[in-house]
């Protein structure tokens, strides 16, 4: 684009949504220079802040005509460099499309604008006795549009599924400005291709989500919390199956922390040991059994049964809110590991439950042999097959980048996923072929071409343009 064309585009964008909402240069807040991936910040060419679906359509139509690449920004909490600007991109932020349009108590649905923070979705549902089933650590700043675009998972997927399961419909704007409105509110609706399903998890590469129609659930009873010691994945899987049998529909959280994770947690020195002996896996379990003694007794009885059956080695129940917070503190200790560990390499993978033990043993052995002195830790949303891994190099080594080959090779070998819930973005693009066949990748590129023929939307995310 020549300078004149570029300035023409800026003038047209300003005319479309107003001078106050097209920012350039030093007027662009630094937070829009990066997402949460910890890459070098890049100032976008401009920041657009449209205030309606019509304005999103207007600015995209202009960028489409100009062949101007656009990076889409929600709450900027992504960890795969999806919303991180590249040189020359214009950033389109959904932050002004913020708020709840409708809560329909009879249909148990909510229609929200894409820029609404997740915690607002939770709070507004709670006010009418309902519940939105996706919850994640970034709830305070991530937005529902970003959650849908990345098919966010989180800590209650064992009960409520990932974001996909909680979305009934969408409104989205295609790269040429076409507005697609499919704000379905019904559980059953088989009327041609369910295009919103393709948009969910497409990381902003197929269109800009502007509104979402969400399915809400009845508010669950209060949660009971426990830590359990188990000897490996087979026992953990058995515990998962038995708990869902004993309390159908009540198990809401089932997280695993492997031995080395608890070793590093112990080194932090802030949390007492939960068990006399450190088990292979420490499970954090929550079940919606109601507060008070009755709920606690139900969980205690179930865990006693599982101990008698030899599946659980030891268990401890939260007796108070303080206990519950302390139990969660083990699971969230990883946020503190950087204080005592060298810079590590972090992963967000899935592995089928039946090969999880073998895959972890393989990666443990490979990091030990190829990266002597390194520390390999595993933890995460075990019931969803979703593990977070980190590999910390020996203090004398430069970095942990070599662990990428070990982990992604193992993911390929065990037919796992290189991205469970964070997405591909620009960060994991080189490894996508470990989880997808050439035929699948070719189809994905055809779909990108169909939706975004000029490749202006989140270019180079998921796969390289051209």
Among 60, 134, 162, 285, binds its own copies (CB under 8 A): 162
Q: Give the shortest CB-116-to-its own copies separation in angstroms.
A: 21
Is residue 52 a contact residue for its own copies (CB under 8 A)?
no
Among 2, 26, 40, 190, binds its own copies (CB under 8 A): 190
Choose between 49 and 356: whose C-beta lies nearer to its own copies: 356
Instruction: Count CA atoms within 13 Å of residue 260 on its CB side.
Output: 17
Distances (CA, A) of 292 to 226, 246, 282, 286, 299: 14, 19, 25, 14, 12
Print the binding letters for residues 54-73 with its own copies: x by CB under 8 A, - otherwise. --------------------
- Bridge-partner residues for 226, per DSSP? 285, 317
Among 164, 278, 362, 364, binds its own copies (CB under 8 A): 164
Helix (H, G, I), strand (E, B) or coil at 184: coil
Residue 333 has a CB neighbour count (10 Å cut-off) of 20
Q: Give the shortest CB-435-to-its own copies separation in angstroms.
A: 4
Choose between 300 and 432: whose C-beta lies nearer to its own copies: 432
Which residues touch 404 (CB under 8 Å, ≥6 apart)?
A: 345, 431
Closest to 154 in 3D by CA, of 348, 299, 327:
348
- Bridge-partner residues for 346, per DSSP? 390
Is residue 118 a contact residue for its own copies (CB under 8 A)?
no
Is residue 193 a contact residue for its own copies (CB under 8 A)?
yes
Site for its own copies in 74-93 (CB under 8 A): none
Site for its own copies in 270-289 (CB under 8 A): 288
Stretch that binds its own copies, among 1-9, 16-24, 62-70, 156-164 (CB under 8 A): 156-164
Stretch that binds its own copies, among 88-96, 146-154, 224-232, 369-377 (CB under 8 A): 146-154
Question: In the 3-class helix/strand/coil scheme, how is 297-366 assigned residue by residue?
Answer: HHHHHHHHHHHHCCCCCEEEECCCHHHHHHHHHHHCHHHHHHHCCCCCEEEEEECCHHHHHHHHHHHHHH
Name the helix (H) or strand (E) containing 435. Answer: none
Closest to 375 in 3D by CA, of 260, 279, 278, 269:
260
Number of residues that bind its own copies (CB under 8 A): 91
Tokens 């996508």 locate to 432
Site for its own copies in 403-462 (CB under 8 A): 415-424, 432, 435-437, 439-444, 446-447, 449-450, 462
Closest to 458 in 3D by CA, of 1, 91, 19, 3:
91
Stretch that binds its own copies, among 14-22, 308-316, 338-346, 352-360 (CB under 8 A): 352-360
Print the binding letters for residues 222-261 with its own copies: x by CB under 8 A, - otherwise. -----------xx--x---x--xx--xxx-----------
Tokens linked to 229: 């010691």
Print the binding letters for residues 122-141 with its own copies: x by CB under 8 A, - otherwise. -------x------------
Is residue 466 a contact residue for its own copies (CB under 8 A)?
no
Site for its own copies in 377-406 (CB under 8 A): 381, 383-386
Q: Which residues of 200-237 are buried (b: 16+ CB within 10 A; e: fewer)?
A: bbbbbbbbbbbbbbbbbeeebeebbbbbbbbeebebbb
Among 2, 19, 127, 192, binds its own copies (CB under 8 A): 192
Stretch that binds its own copies, among 13-21, 114-122, 147-155, 322-330 (CB under 8 A): 147-155
């Amino acid at each position: 684009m020549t300078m004149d064309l570029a300035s023409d585009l800026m003038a047209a964008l300003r005319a479309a949504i107003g001078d106050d909402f097209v920012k350039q240069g030093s007027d662009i807040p630094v937070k829009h220079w990066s997402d949460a991936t910890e890459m070098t910040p890049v100032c976008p060419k401009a920041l657009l802040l449209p205030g309606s679906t019509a304005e999103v359509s207007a600015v995209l139509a202009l960028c489409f005509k100009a062949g101007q690449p656009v990076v889409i920004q929600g709450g900027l909490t992504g960890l795969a460099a999806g919303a991180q600007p590249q040189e020359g991109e214009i950033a389109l932020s959904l932050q002004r499309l913020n708020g709840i349009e409708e809560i329909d108590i009879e249909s148990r649905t909510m229609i929200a604008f894409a820029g609404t923070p997740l915690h607002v979705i939770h709070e507004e549902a709670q006010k009418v006795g309902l519940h939105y089933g996706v919850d994640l650590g970034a709830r305070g700043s991530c937005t529902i549009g970003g959650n849908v675009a990345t098919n966010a998972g989180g800590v209650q997927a064992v009960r409520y599924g990932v974001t996909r399961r909680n979305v009934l419909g969408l409104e989205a704007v295609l790269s040429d400005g076409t507005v697609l409105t499919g704000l379905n509110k019904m559980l059953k609706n088989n009327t041609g291709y369910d295009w919103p399903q393709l948009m969910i998890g497409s990381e902003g590469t197929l269109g800009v989500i502007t509104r979402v129609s969400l399915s809400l659930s009845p508010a669950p009873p209060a949660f009971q919390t426990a830590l359990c010691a188990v000897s490996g994945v087979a026992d953990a899987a058995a515990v998962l199956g038995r708990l869902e049998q004993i309390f159908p529909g009540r198990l809401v959280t089932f997280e695993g922390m492997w031995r080395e994770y608890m070793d590093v947690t112990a080194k932090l020195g802030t949390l007492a040991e939960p068990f006399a002996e450190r088990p292979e896996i420490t499970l954090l379990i929550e079940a919606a059994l109601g507060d008070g003694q009755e709920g606690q007794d139900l969980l205690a009885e179930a865990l006693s049964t599982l101990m008698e059956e030899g599946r659980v080695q030891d268990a401890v129940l939260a007796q108070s809110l303080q206990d519950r917070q302390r139990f969660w503190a083990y699971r969230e200790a990883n946020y503190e590991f950087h204080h005592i560990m060298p810079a590590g390499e972090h992963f967000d993978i899935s592995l089928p439950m039946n090969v999880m033990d073998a895959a972890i043993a393989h990666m443990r052995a490979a990091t030990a042999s190829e990266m002597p002195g390194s520390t390999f830790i595993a933890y995460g949303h075990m019931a969803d097959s979703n593990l977070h891994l980190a590999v910390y190099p020996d203090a004398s080594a430069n970095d942990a980048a070599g662990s990428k080959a070990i982990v992604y090779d193992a993911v390929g070998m065990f037919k796992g996923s290189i991205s469970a819930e964070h997405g591909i973005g620009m960060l994991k693009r080189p490894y996508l072929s470990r989880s997808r066949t050439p035929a699948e990748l070719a189809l994905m590129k055809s779909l990108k071409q169909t939706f975004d023929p000029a490749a202006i939307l989140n270019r180079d995310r998921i796969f390289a343009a051209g």
